[in-house]
Amino acid sequence: MAKYTFPVTREEFLQLNLPERLKLWAEDRELEEYIKEKAFVANPPSKRVPRGTPEQKVAIIGSGPAGLGCADELASLGFSVTVFERDDRAGGLLVYGVPNIKLPKMLLKEKLQAMQAKGVEFRLNTLVGKDILWQDLEREFAAIVVCTGSTKERELKVPGADLAGVVYAKEYLQSTTRSLLEQELAVGTYVDAKDKNVLIIGGGDTGADCSALALAQGAKTILQLELQECEMTRNVNQEGFCEITAGDVTLKYTTKLVALKGDPSGKLTQAEIVQVAWGFSESGLPISEEKPGTNQVLAIDLAIVAIGFTGPEPLIFESSGITKTPLGTAWNVSGSFATAKAGIFVAGDVRRGGGMVEWAFAEGRDAAAEVAVYLAKQ
């Protein structure tokens, strides 16, 4: 269970500007410590993993955890590695999807610079399938590893989802981090929860990050909804909600968003919620039913949608010809990172679906070993 605390009173905290608040935040630093101590440590040498040469060029698509793990491992093995990133900074989820209060960007910058010192090249602002053709990659590189992650957000399907004041978690987190890095959080350059009644839809880790950031921004109230029962949350490390000692934050389990409502101008003003009870269908599948008489209508100024991701975005499949599974992930040979196309590999969330940062790094490193074995046979 993540624990968020402040070393000052709430009144003192809210007198600070936002950059000072983000620096002052003291949080359970598991992710930061993992990035600092473990993520960029190469796998122990193995006789089964052949070393490469600078003449053997590998392209990695995506610079999130899986892409960085794969690139770092391949560079350590002696291969020439180029990472293609569609955004303006390397890091993927780590740079824009994880708030600075959880992972200081200076630490990530240091790790990326260390990778560049190993010879890893980052080509930024380059979307494969648009800015560079897949065929050009196949001509230039001996192997390609797709690590594009699971970035297509699940759509909120309730009345009022299109009202002004409804944003998705990715936009909310990215806008603040981008503004922090580029414009020192100038007014109007990010989604601001200051003095607002905030509703966060989704009780997972991303929802918790949004809740923490909204509190840091000075939200008036924060209500977070989770449809599942507490013991049914998928993340076994989060058996209860984050314990926050400053601010008024409430997490409601077994609570469903019914509708969002707005004023005549189309601006969000209210949310209707209802409690649910979980049971099982005749076939044994879990089902929920609304509890009569538990509907509530609440005043809301900002709704943040954090209900997960449905899989990779379609462009990578369209441009590469990689087969997509019914779950939306990339098809791969069972027990392998290889696809049906020779020299093409997949790793991370694009292969196995959404997961933890640690898993993605491990996937990238394991995929690198498989790439090394493949190239040794060519």
Edge-first strand listing for the sheet containing 221-225 = 166-168, 302-305, 197-201, 221-225, 249-252
Tokens 């599948």 label which residue? Answer: 285
Can you identify the CATH homologous superfamily of domain 155-307?
Answer: FAD/NAD(P)-binding domain (3.50.50.60)
Mean pLDDT in residue range 277-289: 88
Q: CA-to-CA distance for 204 and 170, rounded, in angstroms?
A: 14
3-state SS class at 103 = coil
Q: What's the pTM value of the predicted model, to 2 decimals?
A: 0.82
The DSSP annotation for 183-244 comes to TTT-TTSS---TT-EEEEE--SHHHHHHHHHHHHHT-SEEEEE-SS-GGG-S-TT-SS--EE
Q: Are 61 and 316 in contact (CB under 8 A)?
A: yes
The domains of the chain are located at 33-151+310-376, 155-307
Model confidence at 183, pLDDT cuts 50, 70, 90, reads confident
Q: Which range, 5-14, 107-116, 155-164, 246-255, is most confident? A: 155-164
Q: Which CATH number fits domain 33-151+310-376: 3.50.50.60, 3.40.190.10, 3.30.70.100, 3.30.300.30?
A: 3.50.50.60
Interior angle at CA 300, CA 294 and CA 304, nearest 5: 100
pLDDT of 45: 65
pLDDT of 326: 85
295: number of Cβ within 10 Å: 13
Q: Are 229 and 252 in contact (CB under 8 A)?
A: no
Mean pLDDT in residue range 69-98: 94
What's the whole-number average pLDDT of the chain?
A: 85
Which run of H or of E encompasses 30? helix 30-34
Q: CA-to-CA distance for 70 and 43, rounded, in angstroms?
A: 11
Model confidence at 36, pLDDT cuts 50, 70, 90, reads confident
* The domains spanning 33-151+310-376 and 155-307 adopt the same CATH topology: yes
Looking only at the bridges linking them, the beta strands covering 57-61 and 255-262 are unpaired
pLDDT at residue 145 tops 50: yes
pLDDT of 99: 83
245: number of Cβ within 10 Å: 10
Q: CA-to-CA distance for 206 and 209, rounded, in angstroms?
A: 5
First to last CA, the chain: 47
pLDDT at residue 156 tops 70: yes
pLDDT of 244: 37
Q: Cα dihedral sign for 108, 343, 360, 22? A: positive
Q: Is 268 exposed, middle or buried (0-12, 13-18, 19+ CB in 10 A)?
A: buried
Q: Are 304 and 161 in contact (CB under 8 A)?
A: no
Tokens 């200081």 label which residue? Answer: 104
pLDDT of 235: 44
Q: Are 277 and 173 in contact (CB under 8 A)?
A: no
pLDDT of 22: 55
Model confidence at 21, pLDDT cuts 50, 70, 90, reads low
3-state SS class at 296 = strand
Q: Are 73 and 160 in contact (CB under 8 A)?
A: no
280: number of Cβ within 10 Å: 9
Mean pLDDT in residue range 314-338: 87
**Tokens describing residue 71:** 């690139």
